[in-house]
Amino acid sequence: MRAFDASFVRPIIVIAVVVIAATCQAADGRFDQTLQVSSTLKSGALKLDIATDAGEILLRAGGPGKIEIHAKLHSIDDSQDDNVATRIRMIELNPPVISDTHAHSVRIGHFADPDLAANIAISYEIVAPQGTGLHSETGSAIRASKGFRAPWRRAAAPARYVCGILARMFT
């Protein structure tokens, strides 16, 4: 009887482990968008409305005339959702950013179909002019750079968390 040659088994096991690890990794994505806004608006005239169920919101002060939106998307680890990577790609291709025709009002993170963002954490870094009016809702935290001053409105939804730092930063 012939002896079993195990030398060919090792490469097959390595390939199987790599394939399984690649399919189990969390899906990630990102999008960046810059909106031109009027630099002649008085303080509080530019309104920013940001929402995210899972993810942080970081606000930084920028120069007049534009809002920069940088978003990182990440599948929630315990998700058994098979199509989360596809939905992340859909969000990257069509970011949830809507502005009025004069860019006096900008809505970020509001989805017509909330199931699109299910099991996806979206963190936003927003660079906006000083004095931008802010309404924000998040399931995580809101942080603001020390130089950012703006009027703000607390989220009405009790299930949302608005970090206490806003009271000190924006009033």
**Is 19 inside any structural domain?**
no
Rounded CA-CA distance 140/53 in Å is 7
**Is 163 inside any structural domain?**
yes
Domain with 106, as residue range(s), is 26-169
Strands 142-144 and 57-62: parallel
Location of structure tokens 């995210």: 52
Inter-residue long-range contacts of 62-66, CB under 8 Å, 24+ positions, other chains counted: 62/127, 62/128, 62/129, 63/129, 64/39, 64/129, 64/130, 65/36, 65/37, 65/38, 65/39, 65/129, 66/34, 66/35, 66/36, 66/37, 66/129
Number of structural domains the chain divides into: 1
**Is 16 inside any structural domain?**
no
Location of structure tokens 């206490």: 164
Report pLDDT digits (tens) over 152-170: 554 544 333 333 333 333 3
pTM above 0.85, yes or no: no
**Is 13 inside any structural domain?**
no
**Is 6 inside any structural domain?**
no
For residue 63, how many other CB atoms are within 10 A of its CB?
A: 10
**Is 20 inside any structural domain?**
no
Report pLDDT digits (tens) over 58-87: 888 888 888 999 999 999 866 567 789 999
**Is 4 inside any structural domain?**
no
